[in-house]
Structure 1
Amino acid sequence: MLLIGCKDTYQGPAIPEVPVNEQINVNSLQYPELRRDGGYVYLNAGYKGILIVRQNANLYAAFERACPYDPTAPCAIVEVDQSNLFIVDKCCGSQFNFQGNVTSGPAVYGLKQYRTSLSGSLLYISN
């Protein structure tokens, strides 16, 4: 008899894995928004793009822009709301805080987060 069990390691929706190995200079004139806490920029990397948020001068978060509710839907791309208070997917209406956690559904999983490492003024983003 063969028993197949379910693992408790499911971390969320099936956002396609793509290699991410980016670096940016956070002091560059190209990214003035990253010079203040709460500032953010979008990168053309990842599956549907990457949102980088400055938490403080030494800590940056990088999130996949594909909404975890239905990541393969063409319109499922998160962006910072005009109020600059939260992140939203206008397609399904899900909202997230700047730590990537769900604050309003239908999404039940937080945003996929990439690793970040700051060395001087260079921010490395990878998976």
Structure 2
Amino acid sequence: MFASCNDNNQGPGIPNVPVSEQINVNSQLYPRLRQDGGYAYLNGGYKGIIVVRQNANLYLAFERACPYDPTATLPCGRVEVDQSNLFIIDSCCGSQFNFQGGLMTGPAVYGLRQYRTALDGSLLYISN
């Protein structure tokens, strides 16, 4: 599959869907979000959202659709945190991304689509 070159670094071909999520980062549902480098999977977005804690005041949220083949219907067509907990990977194509959503290795040529986040106390708001 070929990827086209353009100015969109958010992964062309990923459908735009409304995102408006709210989670409590201290909830028992998200125990990994209590430590830096921790993460949680949410059901929103196109193929899901992965939230990554950078530090106590900064959380990033990314679309789980891989920018290499965002419409893949295989279960492995979603990015997930690698077992090493050192990077995010699409096990279908092998593309790897850092915890800031940046591309580490392809075949993807774009980083992960990032959603806006806003932290208010322990409530994290995620939107596009």
Q: Give 2:27's aligned residue.
A: 28
How far, CA to CA, are the matches of 2:97 and 2:105 in structure 1?
7
Contact 1:88 1:94 in 2 (8 A): yes
Q: Give 1:72's aligned residue.
A: 71
Report % sequence identity: 76
What's the Cα RMSD here? 1.0
Normalising by structure 1, report the TM-score: 0.91
Q: Which amino acid in the other structure matches residue 28 of structure 1?
A: S
Q: Which amino acid in the other structure matches residue 83 of structure 2?
A: Q
How far, CA to CA, are the matches of 2:21 and 2:8 in structure 1?
26
**3-state DSSP of counterpart to 1:88:** strand
Contact 1:87 1:98 in 2 (8 A): yes
- Cα shift at 1:9: 3.9
Q: Give 1:49's aligned residue.
A: 48
Normalising by structure 2, report the TM-score: 0.91
Change (3 A) 1:109 1:42: same
How far, CA to CA, are the matches of 1:10 and 1:62 in structure 2?
18
Q: Which runs of 5+ in 2 are unaligned?
A: 1-5
Compare CA radii of gyration and give the structure with the larger one: 1
Q: Which runs of 5+ in 1 are unaligned?
A: 1-7
Q: Give 2:95's aligned residue.
A: 94
How far, CA to CA, are the matches of 1:10 and 1:20 in structure 2?
19
Q: Give 1:104's aligned residue.
A: 105
Q: Give 1:3's aligned residue.
A: none
Contact 1:68 1:111 in 2 (8 A): yes
Q: Give 1:5's aligned residue.
A: none
How far, CA to CA, are the matches of 2:27 and 2:78 in structure 1?
26
Moved over 2 A (4+): 8-12
- Cα shift at 1:10: 3.0
- Cα shift at 1:105: 0.4
**3-state DSSP of counterpart to 1:117:** strand
